[in-house]
């Protein structure tokens, strides 16, 4: 039996690894070396067959040129941390977890919306500062409010269903016509309509060449003054600097951001504002999704190496 040697270079759900190893270690010996540098991978594991990573690891030409992995599997939905085109040229197959973190990401998006509309961060500060009797700040119900969801795929449509259950008016937008026919109960609107008319705008599109800076200065200028803008997709799908200016100049009410253009060294100016809530790219990362993602990657590996 030919062995398929697997290196796990980033921390992933250990119980999924344990279950996999218990069943398949004869054919798939697993080496765990969480947090190892790319240079160490090149030096030590360059004859391994499979590399398992997370989205925190850049896999560019300098890595791909110096290893002999046949498969690189990333425990994430996005693959923008990997030079996929170059990997393809070199015959390296890329695996990612398509489904496993959509629920977590949609729930996190709702968490940001609720934190903003209920003003939870301020309320928490007031209680800590012994200002329990201070109520002079805005809090809103979600029922009856409108949310425009740009990108109605796995995360966007799940969020759409949650928002509908909360009694919100959901406007959907997607470039794929099949998405519209799959979601016939939803009202699809143009991008401009959504930007001009929604109380809350949430973006859920993938990062690719076409979507680079997709929500541009001109698009941002269409937002209502009291609108809330949420991004849990990828930092580069919006003109981040322009959003920063809008927030600074109070041209929109609030933003909720889980993703940034230059992670982890994000634009620190966001941290100076009190009308944005920031999370550290955790939308898709929960105990449950981590497990599902790792299990999904192992299932795909078994399928491919059958």
55-94 footprint of ligand NAD as x/- string (CB under 6 A): ----------------------xx----------------
At closest approach, how far in Å is the CB of 179 from ligand NAD? Answer: 5
Residues within window 196-255 making contact with ligand NAD, judged by CB under 6 A: 204-207, 211, 214, 232-234
Our finding on whether 155 is near ligand NAD (CB under 6 A) is: yes
**Is residue 133 packed enough to be buried (19+ CB in 10 Å), middle (13-18) or exposed (0-12)?**
exposed
Our finding on whether 153 is near ligand NAD (CB under 6 A) is: yes
Active site residue 128: no
Angle at 75 between CA 72 and CA 173, to 5 degrees: 110
Q: Give strand ranges (E) for the chain.
A: 6-8, 30-32, 50-53, 71-74, 93-96, 146-150, 169-173, 187-188, 200-203, 228-231, 254-257, 276-278
Residue with CB nearest ligand NAD?
A: 153
Q: Which is nearer to ligand NAD, 146 or 232 (CB)?
A: 232
Active site residue 281: yes
Active site residue 108: no
Our finding on whether 290 is near ligand NAD (CB under 6 A) is: no
Our finding on whether 105 is near ligand NAD (CB under 6 A) is: yes
How does DSSP assign 201-256, residue by residue?
Answer: EEE----SGGGTT-B-HHHHTTS-TT-EEEE-S-GGGB-HHHHHHHHHTTSSSEEE
Our finding on whether 258 is near ligand NAD (CB under 6 A) is: yes
Comparing CA positions, the residue from 105, 111, 138 lying closest to residue 277 is 111
List the beta bridge partners of residue 171: 148, 187
Q: Which is nearer to ligand NAD, 154 or 290 (CB)?
A: 154
Candidate list 57, 108, 281, 290, residue with the active-site label: 281
At closest approach, how far in Å is the CB of 176 from ligand NAD? Answer: 4
Total residues contacting ligand NAD by CB under 6 A comes to 32
Q: Which two tokens stand for residue 120?
A: 């939870």
Residue 256 to residue 44: CA distance in whole angstroms: 41
> Do 101 and 289 meet the contact criterion of CB atoms below 8 Å apart?
yes
Q: Which is nearer to ligand NAD, 101 or 227 (CB)?
A: 101
Burial code of 184-193, b = ≥16 C-beta within 10 A, e = fewer? eebebbebee
Our finding on whether 174 is near ligand NAD (CB under 6 A) is: yes
Our finding on whether 260 is near ligand NAD (CB under 6 A) is: no
Our finding on whether 54 is near ligand NAD (CB under 6 A) is: no
Catalytic residues: 234, 263, 281
Site residues (vs ligand NAD, CB under 6 A):
77-78, 101-102, 105, 150-156, 173-176, 179, 204-207, 211, 214, 232-234, 258-259, 281, 283-285
């Amino acid at each position: 039996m030919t062995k398929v040697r697997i290196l796990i270079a980033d921390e992933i759900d250990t119980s999924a690894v344990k279950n996999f190893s218990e069943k398949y270690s004869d054919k798939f010996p697993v080496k765990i070396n969480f947090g190892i540098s790319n240079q160490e991978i090149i030096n030590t594991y360059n004859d391994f067959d499979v590399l398992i990573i997370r989205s925190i690891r850049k896999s560019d030409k300098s890595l791909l040129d110096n290893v002999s992995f046949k498969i690189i599997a990333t425990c994430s939905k996005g693959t923008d941390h990997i030079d996929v085109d170059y990997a393809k040229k070199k015959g390296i197959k890329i695996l990612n977890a398509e489904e496993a973190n959509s629920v977590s990401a949609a729930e996190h998006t709702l968490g940001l919306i609720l934190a903003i509309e209920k003003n939870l961060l301020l309320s928490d500060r007031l209680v800590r500062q012994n200002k329990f009797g201070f109520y002079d700040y805005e809090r809103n119900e979600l029922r009856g409010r409108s949310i425009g969801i740009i990108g109605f795929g796995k995360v966007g449509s799940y969020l759409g269903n949650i928002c509908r259950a909360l009694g919100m008016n959901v406007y959907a937008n997607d470039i794929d016509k099949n998405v519209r026919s799959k979601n016939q109960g939803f009202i699809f609107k143009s991008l401009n309509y959504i930007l001009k008319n929604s109380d809350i705008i949430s973006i859920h599109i993938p990062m690719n060449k076409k979507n680079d800076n997709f929500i541009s200065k001109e698009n941002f200028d269409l937002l209502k003054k009291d609108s809330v803008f949420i991004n849990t997709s990828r930092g580069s799908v919006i003109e981040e600097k322009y959003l920063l200016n809008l927030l600074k100049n109070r041209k929109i009410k609030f933003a909720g951001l889980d993703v940034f253009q230059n992670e982890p060294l994000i634009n620190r100016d966001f941290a100076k504002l009190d009308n944005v809530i920031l999370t550290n790219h955790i939308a898709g990362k929960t105990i449950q999704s981590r497990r599902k993602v790792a299990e999904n990657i192992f299932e795909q590996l078994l399928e491919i190496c059958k």
